[in-house]
Structure 1
Amino acid sequence: MAVYTQVDDRTLAEFLSGYDVGSAISFKGIAEGVENSNYLLETTSARFILTLYEKRADPEDLPYFLNMMEHLAEHDIPSPLPIRDKRGDALKMLAGRPACLISFLSGVSVNYPSPDQCAALGAMLARMHTATEGFAEVRENNLSLEGWHTLAEATHARADKVMPGLAALIDDELTYLDANWPPGLPKGTIHADLFPDNVLFTGDEITGVIDFYFGCTDYFAYDIAVCINAWCFDGQQRFDAVRAKRLTELYDTHKRLSGPEVAALPTLCRGAALRFLLTRLYDWLNPVKDAVVKPHDPMEYVRKLKFHQQVRDAADYVV
C-alpha cells in the first residue's frame, strides 16, 4: 500500500455522501507497498480502507479483484469486503482514479514470521485455494513467463547499473525457465502476492488476508512458491528450511499436494524469485515522482534466486 493521489476533505465528503457509512472522523494515508493509493478512514459508523487504483492496475481487471474478495469473504476467508454504495456499486471514481471502499480488518502484519505463523499461512493458503474452486471468473497471470520477458526487455539496458552482470543473470534464468517451466499442474484462482505485509495476525492466528490486486488464474503451487520466497528467508536472505517445511506441511494437511506439484517447487520458486526481481528492478529504475514509499530493493531477490538455483531436490521445501 502507498499514497500517490491526494484526496482533500471536500472531495472525500462528497465521495462518502454516496454511501451509508456516516461522515469522516479521521483520514490518513498508509505509506506501505508500491501499487495503489490507500487511506485508513474512520467514520461515525466504522473503520474502512479507501483504495485508489494506480499504476499497474488495469481498470478492466478491477471487477475481477473485487468479486474475488467478495467470494472469499462469503466462504469464511478473512478477506476485506468491498462496500457497495447506495446504488449497489462497489467500484467508483475518486480524484480521477477508480476507487473502492473496503472493510477494515483487525490484526498486525509481521516482519519476521515465526514457524508457527508460516504454518498458519500454509493452512490459510490451502483454505483459500479450496474456496476459489467455486469462483468461475478467470484472469490470466500477466506476470508469468511472457510478462517476465517483457520486463526483462524493458530493464535490460540499465540492469547492470544496479549490479554488474545482472542483465546476463536475468537472460540466463529466463532461458532456463522457458525450457523447464512445468506443464499441467493443478490451477485455479490464486493470490500471487501474499507477502507478510498482506497478512494480518493476532498472535499466531490469521485475522486478515488483504491486497488481492495481483489475483489471477495460475498454478496453486506457484502461489506456494511466492510464499516460500516471501516468508521463508531471514533478514539477510538466508533460507529457513523450518519455516518452509511448516508452511508446506500445513498446506498439505488442508489441501493435498500432488507429486508433480512437489517436484516442481524448485523451478516454481526460481520463477517466483525472478518475477519479484524483475518488478522491483523495473520500479527501482523507474521511480514514481513524489511517491510516499521508496521502491523495494531488487537485490533481495537476486540473492533468493541464487539460492533456488542451487536447489536440486524439493525436499529442501517440504517435509
Structure 2
Amino acid sequence: MAVYTHVSAEALGEFLKRYDVGELVSAKGIAEGVENTNYLVDTTTDRFILTLYEKRVAADDLPFFMALLDHLAEKGLPVPPAIKDREGVEIQQLCGRSACLIKFLPGISLTTPTPAQAQAAGAALADMHRAVDDFRGERPNSMGIATWRPLLARCGADLDGIAPGLFDELSSALDRIEAAWPTDLPVCAVHADLFPDNVLMRGDAVTGLIDFYFACTDLRAYDLAVMHGAWAFDPAGPTYRSEIGDALIQGYGPLTEAEQAAFPILAAGAALRFALSRSWDWLNTPADALVTRKDPLAYVRRLRHYLA
C-alpha cells in the first residue's frame, strides 16, 4: 500500500455518493507498500479501504482479482471483496485511475510472528488453495520466472550502486534457478505475495488475507515458498528462524514428494524475484511519492541462504 495519487476530500465525497455507505468522515493515506494508492476511509456507517490502481496493476487484470476475491469470500475465507455501487459495479474511475472501495477487515499485521501465528497463516494459505479447486479464472504470473531476466537487464549495472557486484551475483543465481526450475508441479490460483503485512491476525487467529494484486495462476508450492521467505527470516534477512519456517509448513500441511524436492529452488526463485523487484523500486521510486521503499538486500541475503 502507498500513496502516489492524491485524492481531495471533495473528490472522495463525490465518489462515495455512488454507494450506500453514508457520508465521508475522514480519509488517511496509507504509506506502507509500493504498488497502489491506498486510503483508510471512514464514513458515517463503516470503515473501508479505497484503492487506486497505479501503473503496475493493469486495468485488464482487475476483473480476475475481483472474481477471485468474490469466489474466496463466497467460500467463507477472510478476504476483502470490493464493494458494489448502487448499479452493481465494483471497478470505478477516480482521479484518472481505476479504483475500488474495499471491505475493511479487522486485525493487525505482524512484524515478528510466533510459531503459532505462522502455523495459522500456513493453514490459511492451504484453505485458500483448497477453495480455488473450482475457480476457473486464469492469469499468468506477471512477476513469474519468465520476467526475472528481463527485469535483471533493466536494472543492469545500476544494481552495483546498491551493493558492489550485485548484478553478477543475481545473474549467477538466476542461471542456477532457471536450470533447476520445475514445470510439472500442481498449479492453481495463488496469492504470490502473502507477506506478514498481508495477513491480518487477532492473537493466533487469522482474520484477513489481503492485497491480492499479484494473484495469478502458478505453482501451488511456489505460493508457500513466497510465504516461507517472507515469514521465516528477520526483516533484514541474515537470520533464518527455523521454528517459524517449520511451523508455516506444518500449518500448510504435507507437500507432495516432488514439491518437497523442488521447494529449495522455489524459495530461491521467490527470493530472487523480490530482490529484483525491490531493486527496481529502489532505483526508480519517485522522490515525492508517499511510499516506504524496501531494502532489496534483505532478499539477497535470503537468496544466499536458499542457494547455500
TM-score grouping bracket, smaller chain normalisation: over 0.9
Partner of 2:205: 205
- The aligned amino acid for 1:89 is V
Alignment partners' CA distance in 1, 2:235 and 2:267? 18
1:31 is paired with a residue whose SS is coil
Structure 1 position 72 matched with structure 2 position 95: no
TM-score under structure 2 length normalisation: 0.98
Alignment partners' CA distance in 2, 1:26 and 1:286? 31
CA contact (8 A) 2:142 2:214 kept: no
| Residues 156-171 of structure 1 mapped to structure 2, 5 A cutoff | 156-171=156-171
How many pairs are equivalent?
A: 307
Alignment partners' CA distance in 2, 1:265 and 1:258? 10
CA contact (8 A) 2:160 2:167 kept: yes
Which segments of structure 1 move beyond 6 Å, counting only runs of 4 or more?
none
Partner of 1:278: 276
Alignment partners' CA distance in 2, 1:143 and 1:175? 17
**Could you report, residue by residue, the CA deviation over 1:268-288 in whole angstroms, capped at 9, with x for unpaired residues?**
000000000000000011112
Partner of 1:24: 24
**Could you report, residue by residue, the CA deviation over 1:206-251 in whole angstroms, capped at 9, with x for unpaired residues?**
1011000000000110001000100001244211111111111111
Partner of 1:241: 242
**Could you report, residue by residue, the CA deviation over 1:127-154 in whole angstroms, capped at 9, with x for unpaired residues?**
0000011110000012111110111010
Q: 1:305 aligns with which of 290, 303, 306?
A: 303
CA contact (8 A) 2:31 2:292 kept: no
Alignment partners' CA distance in 1, 2:144 and 2:26? 39
Partner of 2:51: 51
Alignment partners' CA distance in 2, 1:239 and 1:306? 11
Partner of 2:255: 257
Alignment partners' CA distance in 2, 1:133 and 1:111? 31
**Could you report, residue by residue, the CA deviation over 1:75-118 in whole angstroms, capped at 9, with x for unpaired residues?**
11100021001111000000110000011000000101111110
Shift of 1:157: 2.1
Partner of 2:218: 218
Partner of 2:140: 140
CA contact (8 A) 2:3 2:36 kept: yes
| Residues 174-189 of structure 1 mapped to structure 2, 5 A cutoff | 174-189=174-189
Partner of 1:313: none
Partner of 2:291: 293
Shift of 1:177: 1.4
Task: In structure 1, list runs of 5 or more residues that go unmatched.
Answer: 311-319
2:102 is paired with a residue whose SS is strand
**Could you report, residue by residue, the CA deviation over 1:143-183 in whole angstroms, capped at 9, with x for unpaired residues?**
11111011101011211111111111111111111210012
CA contact (8 A) 2:276 2:296 kept: yes
TM-score under structure 1 length normalisation: 0.95
Task: In structure 2, list runs of 5 or more residues that go unmatched.
Answer: none
Alignment partners' CA distance in 1, 2:167 and 2:236? 23
More displaced stretch, 288-297 vs 86-95: 288-297
2:57 is paired with a residue whose SS is coil
Alignment partners' CA distance in 2, 1:7 and 1:33? 18
What RMSD over aligned residues (CA atoms) do the two structures have, in Å?
0.9
Alignment partners' CA distance in 2, 1:209 and 1:264? 26
More displaced stretch, 229-238 vs 90-99: 229-238
- The aligned amino acid for 1:105 is L
| Residues 91-106 of structure 1 mapped to structure 2, 5 A cutoff | 91-106=91-106
Alignment partners' CA distance in 1, 2:157 and 2:251? 43
2:138 is paired with a residue whose SS is coil
1:261 is paired with a residue whose SS is helix
Shift of 1:203: 0.5
Partner of 2:11: 11
Shift of 1:121: 0.7
